[in-house]
Amino acid sequence: MNASIVGNYSPNLRPVLLFCSGSHKASNCNWAARQTAGDGVEQTCQLSTSGVERTVGLRVPASFDTAATKIFMIYLHGGGGGGGGGGGGTITDCDKVANLFSIVDSKGVALACPLGLTDDLRGRVWNVYYCYINTGAAPCWSGPPPDDSGFVRAIIQAAEANLNINPKDVFVTGFSAGSQMLSRVITDDAGLVSAVAVVAGAKAVWDQNSGPAYAKNGPFPPAKNPVSVMVRRGDQDTGTPVCSQPDHSITTLDEDLAHYSQQFSCTVQTPNPNPFCPSGRGGPPSAETYKKWSGCKNGVEVRAYVIQGAAHHLYTMVEKPDITSSPPPYNGQLGVDFQPGWEEQIVWQWFANHVIP
């Protein structure tokens, strides 16, 4: 791993990593249980938040207690839930999709995989800041939408209380719709997390430039606290293209980068100011593959990468040979060997190197 890309690593960090998908009661999770490396064992338990019983998968390997670097992850699954939709249901589904157990067991990481609730259109998803009206590709509830920001907070608070987690050492990632939920985590829960990793996702908001099929729920609210953000999209992604859909229904990679860099008052852009999408939404992408904003509040940073040759399922390319590319995915700025498990290695290094100062 190229440390100049992902940050400065300290072996004394004790981060907690949460991979995503109000008031709460104690969960029925057995936080004292430990799993042996390679046993594939997990527990599925319940946590009450905002008066609703929610499901979360939990794996705490035996190596967690002795690891010099302790991490607690929350993974937010993609739309639909279950293995076919990006993980969910049980923590084993997360492992099948994202190859997380190798990181969890070898690094002494505690992992939580919360499960989204079922919307009226397509299955288990997350309550982001918008609702599709005429399509089935994003969440829309006929009744009150779930408090998913509160759900993430409840998991963090339960982990801090039961695993003796350092409050500064919490991280969140997710895939596709789960990555869209990360924009709510950044906005609503940023005071509880140090960094997030957005995988094949866009900022979860539809504005006046969106297509007519989308509800418009007002301006995107400001984040309460700075948090380091890394966003990655594949240049072969048709679900979350680098430069948005033809109907302009999602933000471009430039828009996401600009939003977070402005939110956190970043002042220095490298390596150049050239855009990923010179023609804006719906236009062709440029040859740019990497941007970084630094000089931000509290020392956070914002980075964006285009993975050449990668389709939408960045976390699942190894398991889904029908969507792998030839040559294999690549971005030289990341400094990793693009072999099985590369996505998890990128996420691991990013989080381990971004504990809140």
Question: How far apart, in Å, are the Cα atoms of 30 and each of 57, 72, 91, 154?
Answer: 11, 15, 14, 15
- Compute the residue count for the chain: 357
Most confident of 143-147, 241-245, 350-354: 241-245
Q: Are strands 124-125 and 52-59 parallel, antiparallel or unpaired?
A: unpaired
Rounded distance between C-alpha atoms, residue 109 and residue 288, angstroms: 34
Whole-prediction pTM:
0.84
> Tell me, what amino acid is at 83?
G
| pLDDT score, position 86 | 46
Rounded distance between C-alpha atoms, residue 64 and residue 44, angstroms: 19
pLDDT in tens, 10-41: 333 344 455 444 344 456 889 999 988 777 67
| pLDDT score, position 122 | 60
Q: Are strands 195-199 and 117-118 parallel, antiparallel or unpaired?
A: unpaired
The torsion angles phi and psi of 155, rounded to 5 degrees, stand at -65, -45
| pLDDT score, position 26 | 52
User: Which parts of the chain are beta strand (E)?
Assistant: 16-19, 43-49, 52-59, 71-76, 109-114, 117-118, 124-125, 170-175, 195-199, 228-234, 268-270, 290-294, 302-307
Rounded distance between C-alpha atoms, residue 49 and residue 67, angstroms: 31
pLDDT in tens, 322-349: 344 555 666 767 766 666 666 777 787 8
pLDDT(296) > 60: yes
| pLDDT score, position 169 | 81
Going by C-alpha positions, the residue among 76, 13, 65, 70 that lies closest to residue 35 is 65
pLDDT in tens, 38-72: 776 778 889 988 888 999 989 899 998 887 767 78
The structure tokens listed for 34 are: 């430990």
pLDDT in tens, 133-162: 444 444 566 667 789 999 999 999 999 889
> Domain 12-352, CATH 3.40.50.410 — does that match?
no
Q: Who has greater pLDDT, 160 or 219?
A: 160
Rounded distance between C-alpha atoms, residue 258 and residue 265, angstroms: 10
Neighbour-count burial of 74, counting CB atoms closer than 10 A to its CB (0-12 exposed, 13-18 middle, 19+ buried): buried
Q: Where are the domains of the chain?
A: 12-352
Q: What angle do CA 222, 226, 232 make, to 5 degrees?
A: 90
pLDDT(231) > 90: yes
227 pLDDT band, cuts 50/70/90, is very high
| pLDDT score, position 351 | 84
